[in-house]
Amino acid sequence: MKQTLKHLRRVGAITAAAAAAGLLLLSGPAPAQQPGKIKIGLMLPYTGTFAALGTSITNAFKLAIEENGGKLGGREIEYFTVDDESDPAKAPENANKLIKRDQVDVLVGTVHSGVALAMAKVARDTNTLLVIPNAGADEITGPLCAANVFRTSFSNSQMGIAMGKVMAEQKKKTAVTLTWKYAAGDESVGGFKETFEAGGGKVIKELSLPFPQVEFQSYLTEIAALKPDVVYVFFAGGGAVKFVKDYAAAGLNKTIPLVGAGFLTDGTLEAQGDTAQGLLTTLHYGDGLDNPKNKAFRAAFAKAYKVEPDVYAVQGYDAAQLLIVGMNAVKGDTTKRAELVKAMEAAKLDSPRGPLALNKGHNPIHNIYLRKVEGKENKVVGIAVKDLTDPPRGCKL
Ligand code: PHB
């Protein structure tokens, strides 16, 4: 009995204390919904052929955050970083390190389509918010689209679609394609073939080599023998530097026009030097785009990092801009996921590439420019496709 009384008294005391605390809560300032920092997981390549791309994305992402007072939705940021090595086999483990071990609120990455496909799966399975600042795997914003997965870059087929159209308009009749054999290259070439052949051209040979190999000699020999009207390629980063140099060293730049998805000459011109002069490429960005945002962005990036920005920097910057819109809408409260997603879906970004909106699958709708290398610049010489948007391709959102 005594025990029971004591017990009851204790319960009473606890209840009274809880009531007092409740009063305090009611009368005091409203507590922050989610105190502490927002954790951002950057999963990008910092080694290998795409290392410079990962660094460029990271730098520009951080620049946009700095310009926003170092915060997202009013909360400070804590970064967690993983080098994904552009290795799809390591991707699930790397993504889980950030999600399960570091408990990040948002995952940002990556460059390589194969790695991104694995990241998107982990993001879907764990319902983690994912923003992709490069990898173009068509499926991610097509049949595999998800409410929690966004992309601020492009889809792989977009650049090929644009260049195939331009080459058909230039009355080229035959083409050979060459790429690394994986989603990015296959889809880029697929887009090229679709519009080039619809416009009356013929892809007479599709060549490929495993990623990230750079032994191009036998392919160059074959191209020289096939003598197509044009060669369309997808290469990027270190591999793009070597390919353009090798193409010129083989003398092919004098006889068979080389064109490509704009990654061939973006962030690479310093290293390619004279060998890249005159190359035509298609991309959703060009260095000299004449809009105020691009000028301000280029000046701020060059000041902060002492190098000129490239398309990867633009995409990283826009990934942060998209998150700023979403997090502002929920005042940094990441538990308000539906509201956050809605705000991101409706975002109208002032991108260095021009106005940027997303389609139903959360993929950019943007102009694809025709560019020509002049000196150290990818000079915009025209719009290959205006406001290109992907077909829904089975996205059910
Ligand atoms: C990709 O794997 O999707 C990819 C990689 C590098 C690029 C573009 C696309 O520059």
Q: What is the pLDDT of residues 245-292, one digit of tens each?
A: 999 999 999 999 999 999 999 999 999 999 999 999 999 999 999 999
* Positions of the chain with pLDDT under 50: 1-31
**Distance (Å) of CA 340 to CA 64, 272, 287, 302, 323:** 19, 42, 32, 32, 9
Residue-wise pLDDT for 10-60, tens only, equals 434 444 444 444 444 444 444 455 679 999 999 999 999 999 999 999 999
At 393 the pLDDT is 76
Q: Say what the pLDDT of residue 64 is.
A: 98
Q: Which of 56, 241, 263, 363 best tests ligand 1's pocket when mutated (most atoms within 8 Å of CB)?
A: 263
pLDDT, residue 168, reads 98
Ligand 1 mean position, distance from CA 303 (Å): 27
Q: How far apart are CA 185 and CA 177, in angstroms?
A: 10
**Which of 50, 119, 285 maximizes ligand 1 atoms within 8 Å of its Cβ, making it the mutation to test the pocket?**
50
| Nearest alpha carbon, ligand 1 atom 5 | 112
Ligand 1 midpoint to CA 117 (Å) = 12
Pocket test for ligand 1, best of 53, 87, 110, 112 (most atoms within 8 A of CB): 112
pTM of the model: 0.92
Name residues contacting ligand 1 (CB within 6 A): 111-113, 134-137, 156, 184, 236, 263
CA Rg value for the chain: 25
Side-chain half-sphere exposure of 8, counting CA atoms within 13 A = 5
* Ligand 1 centroid from CA 56, angstroms: 13
Ligand 1 centroid to Cα of residue 395, in Å, is 21
CA 12 – ligand 1 centroid, Å: 64
136 Cα: distance to centroid of ligand 1 (angstroms): 6
Q: Which atom of ligand 1 lies nearest, measured to the CA of 263?
A: 10
- Which atom number of ligand 1 is nearest to the Cα of residue 137? 3
Q: What is the distance in A from the centroid of ligand 1 to the CA of 13?
A: 63
Instruction: Give residues with Cβ within 8 angstroms of 328, minimum separation 6.
Output: 73, 343
Q: Among 86, 113, 186, 189, say which to mutate for ligand 1: greatest number of ligand atoms within 8 Å of CB.
A: 113
Distance of CA 235 from the midpoint of ligand 1 (Å): 8
Distance from Cα 69 to the centre of ligand 1, integer Å: 31
Atom of ligand 1 nearest to the CA of 266: 10
pLDDT of residue 5: 37
Q: In Å, how far are 85, 228, 297, 312 from 289, measured between CA atoms?
A: 32, 32, 11, 15
DSSP string for residues in 133-173? SS---GGGGTTT--TTEEESS--HHHHHHHHHHHHHHTT--
Pairing of strands 280-283, 364-374: antiparallel
